[in-house]
Structure 1
Amino acid sequence: MVCLLYTCSTLCNYGVGRFLLVFIDVDKIPLNAILVTALIDMYSKCGDVEIAWRIFDGVFCKKLPPWNAIIAGYVQRGLFEEAIDLYCLTKAMERTGVQPNDVTFIGVLSACNHSGLEGERMRRQVKEKMIKRPFGCSWVEVDGAVHRFVVEDATHMKSKEIYGAYEILVNHLKAEGYVLNSSFSWRD
């Protein structure tokens, strides 16, 4: 059912999505967090955030994914102030033991950015909660072997050599006048 709803979301096929909701109601399919999130996402992407809200509001025990889906849905439809207002309700969410995560904050920061509101409160909360972005990752093939590199990872067997080469490159760049943007640096 979730895959079908995802397909309806992707194709913005509102008619089939509505049929699936009727099917869920008639067959009494229990609404778990995954199914609720898929329904909210589908209705939001198809442009009916009112029904998305009704589905969200009707869930007794709200988990984090539905919160994130409804906030993202408001942002996608240009309802930035509503997304921010909904985030303010996350204090109620926190009382139930569910904590906002990076996806929550990205949605609200996006709403702040698009609405012209200052996102400093959000940035401060991200820092206070010590929420970090997922680390970047890359792969390289050398002599038929694939090597995976994750930012700040020191577990690779040649990590000392790699970081040494990195330092040499940075020193060469500095000698040529390049100034490292420390706010973007992946190493402290």
Structure 2
Amino acid sequence: MKRILSCSVIVLALVLMSSFALAGNPELRGTWVGMVKMITKDGKIKENKAVFVIKKQEGNLFSGNKAWFAEDKDNLITEGFGGIIGADGVSLYFAEHEEGYTLGTLIGKEKMALYNLESGRKAKAIYYNMERIRFARAFVDIDKDGNKTIIRSEIVKVYPLNAGRIMREADLNKDGKLSKKEWEELKKKQ
């Protein structure tokens, strides 16, 4: 009996330790959108929108790309990144493929605050306030018992990696470059 009890305690301890280890890495894959505030080296403050798509995650390592429209460009700009989730489970560290580093904090499961610093001739500091995309698909009216008492329910679907599909659909001339004009046309249709 003591032997069975001892084995049970050991198995329980191992299960608990493995569940704590798994709980340490939050799920980041998905599409994150938000507002961007930037100050350039000449003191100009700009605001814009950006999208981060985290396509791959293995443990505390992740990768993806970010996209935005710059004021002086007609086409969507994209840049890849790789990143690490810190040991605390909320700190985020991004290494961009072209230039700069982004540090951030995960705020719950659906929000993150990011800080990008770039030095040199294109020096700037950028703050991203990002939120994971969720789309409300429909509202459903339910008259369960037929007495005309309607229950209105919202059905919510999550499309975590839809940014690539949306950008391909918006690229009307199929040249592989999404222009501001094409993006505005897509927004009018929705």
TM-score under structure 1 length normalisation: 0.22
Higher relative contact order (CA 8 A, sep 6+): 2
